[in-house]
Amino acid sequence: MRPNSIRPRAAWPAALGATLLTLALAGAAHAAAPAANVNEARVIANAAVGKDWPTNGYDYAGTRFSPLKQINAGNVGQLGLAWSYDLESTRGIEATPIVVDGVMYVSASWSVVHAIDVRSGKRLWTYDPQVPRRNAFKACCDVVNRGVAVHEGKVYVGSLDGRLIAIDARTGKKIWAQDTIIDHSRAYTVTGAPRVFKNKVIIGNGGAEFGVRGYITAYDADTGKQAWRWFVVPGDPSKPYEDASMEKAAKTWDPAGKYWEAGGGGTVWNSMVYDPELNLMYIGTGNGSPWSHRQRSPAGGDNLYLASIVALNPDNGQYVWHYQETPGDNWDYTSTQDLILADLKLDGKTRKVILHAPKNGFFFVVDRSNGQFISAKNFVDVNWATGYDKNGRPIEIANARSADKPFDIIPGPFGGHNWHSMSFSPLTGLAYFPVQNVPLNLAEDKRWKGHGSNEPGQPMSGIGWNTAMQINAQAPKSKPFGALIAWDPVQQREAWRQDHVSPWNGGTLATAGNLVFEGTADARFLAYDATTGKKLWDSPTGTGVIAAPISYEVDGRQYVSIAAGWGGVYGQSQRASEGNVPGTVYTFVLGGKAPLPKFTEYQRGSLLAGVKYDPKDVAEGTALYVSNCVFCHGVPGVDKGGNLPNLGYVDKHFIEHLDQFVFNGPFASVGMPDFTGKLTPEQVEQIKAFIQGTADAVRPSQP
């Protein structure tokens, strides 16, 4: 099904790892600096006043709309660089910076927090939570962090290993820390930005691909004492339910699947917004664990509260209402993408609504007072449902849940829209967000044996992934694309679009200057006319951009900043630019004259040659590579490599001595998993055979 004027493009014909996985399956630390000049951050969290950018989404409603208009559609072409700041990171940068009282607080990979003087771009302090690098394997989607919260003189950050840490905003010194993880035997992580509502710091977690039970927790902002916790899915039915909402949810799960052993999923790793008038906070919940609905809950059922918008009472964490966007999730269709609160005039009546564009490809308008479904329309091509009925349930296509044959799911698990931030302008009435397709083919994995299943060929099962799905057992037929669209939520139709060369483009910022800003996968930062979509300005960034920009005013001047740094789950193995610049904050102002930092190009070596191997080991090596390596390193010699190297282009020495790197090797200090006790020396030889064999298979023949 296709909305008006949406025509997916295959604008980037280069090999995508998602598509070329088929080939594989077929066998082919900072010291704190003096901070005497830092003003103490006394802002009340999220109380957007125009000049600052006080919280992740700018305001409680998560609009990412700045009321500043000194920079506008008429003069944006005069933007120039004010300063740039090196985040000293080679991994993904997903953070929205926070600006309060002339100080920017921004997190980089490994949850490191930087405080920057926005007048000069100089470092004030950094705080490194010293995340154990051995924990990197627990993060499905890079060692990223989406930002901090600032409230009453404290900066709050969630660390990858699951701590919530309060930092003195003036000095950068730790005040308190809380371990948010309920079970360290499971692969829980924290990558999201905390929010502060009613003097409570609230954080969720990630890990559904590895088998965890999702929940969200509130802590007292002053002391760090736990205030409440709400679980998203029910636990072991032999034990008492935590509350009435869990008892209700359990009726929608089949205990024959022993869903609690795989956790159930539903992790809350991104979106949280708040309506003070209704005294309700809203969260988006994650996918099922495992992905396969039939394996997770054999008799079916909606599996509450997966893939849902849920309203909670921020005082005590009690469930109020929910709307489930993808009942019985079967395709990794998280609903964790940005929620935005808006008041829209619908059928002549102003209604308080939530706007949402989750992974499943439909744009939702939902009444935020009671969870009533209002409308849904697909914003990209979809083939799992033809639409939604009047009760807000999807009208599914039967083949999308086929138990017997692979299905080319559109959109795939990367989503028609992923976590990359959406903005909404009350001036134009339009929502702005990146859309995409990354082709993937799914089939139920008949060999899956429950949580902890690790058979060669099961995707990334060697480091703990448990999807109960085969991925790209057949070559996907859909085409890759990426674009920025403006969406009219009242008419439920696209207003304009700008096509990009690749999927995985950055989040957006809308401003009262009738502008929309966005960074792209091919290393550009752009401004568009918010009404027409006309491109008005751009600047190179030297690295792909996936995070969202912000705008703020200091000393009467409006600035626009973006934290750039390529990565995330797609960016670990794929790239759309040839830049290789460390994570960098760029800040622009009208008339700015600062020079851009020096850009360096990505250095890819020659195609691997000369590693001795036994051809009979290639088939076994293929399955082992899929189970341990492919989502990080891509297909050898086929993919370009992302922020992690493609093993088909590394120095011969690394592959010849692969055992020295996979068994407690030197790269463990930067996050590479240790496969000691997980792989045998013989299996490493088989993986070597696949790597060199695939490189040989794709090598151009000599004339």
Contact call for residues 362 and 377 (beta carbons, < 8 A): yes
CA distance 361 to 394: 12
Q: Give me the phi and psi of 373, to 5 degrees please.
A: -70, 130
- Structure tokens given for 224: 């760090």
Contact call for residues 363 and 374 (beta carbons, < 8 A): no
What is the CB neighbour count within 10 angstroms for residue 469?
26
CA distance 91 to 623: 27
CA distance 382 to 411: 6
**DSSP H or E stretch at residue 441:** none
Q: Give me the phi and psi of 696, to 5 degrees please.
A: -65, -35
Handedness of CA 462, 468, 470, 471 (dihedral sign): negative
CA distance 648 to 640: 9
C-alpha distances (whole Å) from 149 to each of 179, 248, 418, 421 are: 17, 33, 22, 16
Task: Check residue 234 and report its DSSP letter.
Answer: -
CA distance 277 to 651: 60
Contact call for residues 129 and 159 (beta carbons, < 8 A): yes
- Using a 10 angstrom Cβ sphere, with 0-12 exposed, 13-18 middle and 19 or more buried, the burial of residue 702 is exposed
Handedness of CA 234, 237, 239, 240 (dihedral sign): positive
Contact call for residues 162 and 179 (beta carbons, < 8 A): yes
- Using a 10 angstrom Cβ sphere, with 0-12 exposed, 13-18 middle and 19 or more buried, the burial of residue 429 is middle
- Structure tokens given for 409: 């799911």
Question: b or e along 261-296 (b: 16 or more beta carbons within 10 Å of the residue's beta carbon)?
Answer: ebbbbbbbbbbbbbbeeeebbbbbbbbbbbbbbbbb
Q: Are strands 508-511 and 515-519 parallel, antiparallel or unpaired?
A: antiparallel
Give the list of residues 6+ apart from residue 373 with CB closer than 8 angstroms, or none: 323, 364, 366, 367, 388, 391, 392
CA distance 373 to 576: 38
Whether cis (ω within 30° of 0) applies to the bond prior to 358 is no
Amino acid identity, residue 168? Answer: D
- The gap from C-alpha 279 to its chain's centroid, in whole angstroms, comes to 28
Find residue 560's DSSP bridge partners. 551, 588
- Residue 444 gets the label, from left (phi > 0), alpha (psi -120 to 50) or beta, of beta
- Which residue carries 């102003």 as its tokens? 350
Contact call for residues 163 and 177 (beta carbons, < 8 A): yes
Q: Which residues are catalytic?
A: 332
What is the CB neighbour count within 10 angstroms for residue 642?
28
Angle between helices 681-698 and 618-628 (to 10 degrees): 100
CA distance 194 to 138: 20
